[in-house]
Structure 1
């Protein structure tokens, strides 16, 4: 089983990686830290599950690279591209933000969740609010990934 984590926040991505290895030890996990790298990997070699941040830089950040502009809704765009390319990859969004700004208005995570469920029902599974000091995200993630990665016998 192959799982991709597309998230630019190193600490968060590492916490998710470690948690996934505890829950599903046999899964192979790859981490991508930008919109472009994540999208390229998804198209080239689709995983069994995508754990996706909503906001990230366009390109990988490096010693001489700023990462380009931040894409506030990079996660939504990646899910849109999966649908456009007819790639059947289950997606769980894991974000540190409860609110997003769109067109000068605040949009909450539940609104984003409902939009993604409505527009991308074949790919989008759910959205999880990540808080490093609270274990709720782990309970929710485990509940969502086990039926996808460990089918009932």
Structure 2
């Protein structure tokens, strides 16, 4: 009888799109507890995230909604704040017909999409009517309440 062997799965590729250093550190710490083998790429702007998305697919994308247009560089134009920069990235994933799983983690109670504000619990449904992305869920990040960690753990599994 011939046995088959399968290669051990490699590290999970995680794209964390977050411009706030504190929130980035909190999210990385929580994700490493859940996925010790994770390899992170961190995008801090819409432009950088688009570049990383063009390079490969990811096992998980953790996405902030309010992102600057590009990174701050000496003697360059200041980045524009984009309250719905994360929506732009979701639309790109939809346009490219990508299946990368996405979890939104935001500090804002509403997300602007298609000219309207949606409560976090309603955003996925509203987005799904206009575009498609593998959106696993939306989490409200509140540093004073650790509930976001439990929700992240639930969605990562």
Quick check: TM above 0.5?
yes
Matches within 5 A, 1:72-151: 72-100=83-111, 106-146=117-157
- Distance change (3 Å), C-alpha of 1:106 and 1:68: same
> Normalized against structure 1, the TM-score is what?
0.84
- Distance change (3 Å), C-alpha of 1:133 and 1:39: same
Residue in 1 aligned with 2:26? 15
Q: Which runs of 5+ in 2 are unaligned?
A: 1-11
Superposed displacement of residue 41, structure 1? 0.2
Larger Cα-atom Rg? 2
Q: Give the paired residue count.
A: 146
Q: Give the match's secondary structure for 2:138.
A: strand
In structure 2, how many angstroms separate the alpha carbons of the residues matched to 1:142 and 1:120?
A: 26
In structure 1, how many angstroms separate the alpha carbons of the residues matched to 2:142 and 2:52?
A: 27
Residue in 2 aligned with 1:70? 81
Superposed displacement of residue 95, structure 1? 0.1
Q: Which runs of 5+ in 1 are unaligned?
A: 147-153
